[in-house]
Amino acid sequence: MSTLVRRRPWWVAVPLAAALALGAACSSNDDTATPDAAAGPVDLSTVTLKVGDQKAGTKALLGAAGLLDDVPYTIEWSSFTSGPPLLEALAADAIDLGGVGETPPIFAAASGAELTLVSAYEGDPAGAAIVVKDASSIRTVADLRGRKVAVAKGSSGNYHLLAALDKAGLTFDDIDPAYLQPPDALAAFNNGSVDAWAIWDPYTAIAEQNLGARILVNGEGGLSTGLTFLAARPEAVADPGRHAAIADFLARLRRAYTWTTENPDAWARAWATETGLTTQIATLVLGRENRAWIPLDDDVAKRLQVVADAFTEADLIPREVVVADLVTDQFNDAVQASAPPAPASPTAPAAS
């Protein structure tokens, strides 16, 4: 695996606001050009950043934390059911940036799509789960042999299922995979047309609370990395205006996650309102999330390479993926410098 290149950003000693305005940094992705510092400051009021989101995701989080009130650029939001269709939109130039789990970038890159991972978070993998009905005779992962298992192809659930099967001495050839997006998988699980479902929160919690599901195995013990990423179009990273907007966006996102740890009840109420789910489900989901920003570095690249290699060895992707070619550390300093706290008491919507 190639080594993540570290070049000291020229603006590292400059205050964050100036750094964001200038939008210049270093890149470890050779295909991602560094914005030209000679171009001068960027007028962010002229910039539009197209952001892909998943239900009750980034937009809800930033809004609840009060961090969408003073954004100096325009954000155009698009919603997706999971990471794979989000990255399809990214490859089609329909969005500039979006959050996904550890697996979608692997499948996208293996299919030839160009993307750059610009930020990373690590959380508790307990919300990743393979669930079965409580009355099911399936008691261990080995019992999945010959059973129909719903999973979103190329999603984080896909890796969790692969890792769990491998640990039990099984492969995808030993099960009958039903490749379904979460809403369709939810219906299939509910009506009994699949025997198990590999999924993540909030769907894990929905299955537990509303469908009488039992967790067969969660993502702990190395079966899920707990990693999520912000992926961007290389062209957006190379563009001075959108580069500066991405840096600001990532800094806001980190502050928002900090806010959730300081205001868990307010976030749970806002999340429940956004999803239309109960505060009981919200509390369950958010209580086992514990997501925190981590710098994109060699260690993260190596951890993601394990995921890529697992899919390669299982012949589930068409070609090998070199993760170090996908990641950039050029936004680390901007996010690290995002120390100012989020608003202390934003007005969160009441639960319905």
Query: What domains are defined for the chain?
Result: 16-122+226-336 (3.40.190.10), 125-218 (3.40.190.10)
The per-residue pLDDT for 46 is: 97
Q: Express each pLDDT in 303-346 by its tens digit.
A: 999 999 999 999 999 999 999 999 999 999 999 998 555 555 55
Q: What is the pTM of this model?
A: 0.84
The per-residue pLDDT for 40 is: 67
The per-residue pLDDT for 29 is: 46
Dihedral sign of CA atoms 153, 157, 163, 164 in order: negative
Which residues, given as ranges, of the chain have pLDDT below 50? Answer: 1-31, 37-38, 347-352
Q: Express each pLDDT in 162-193 by its tens digit.
A: 999 999 999 999 999 999 999 999 999 999 99
Inter-axis angle of helices 298-313 and 156-167, nearest 10 = 70
Listed residue (136, 131, 119) closest to 203, CA to CA: 131
DSSP string, 229-272: EEEE-HHHHHSHHHHHHHHHHHHHHHHHHHHHHH-HHHHHHHHH
- The single-letter code of the amino acid at 344 is A
> How many CB atoms lie under 10 A from the CB of residue 278?
16
- CA 65 to chain centroid, in Å, comes to 19
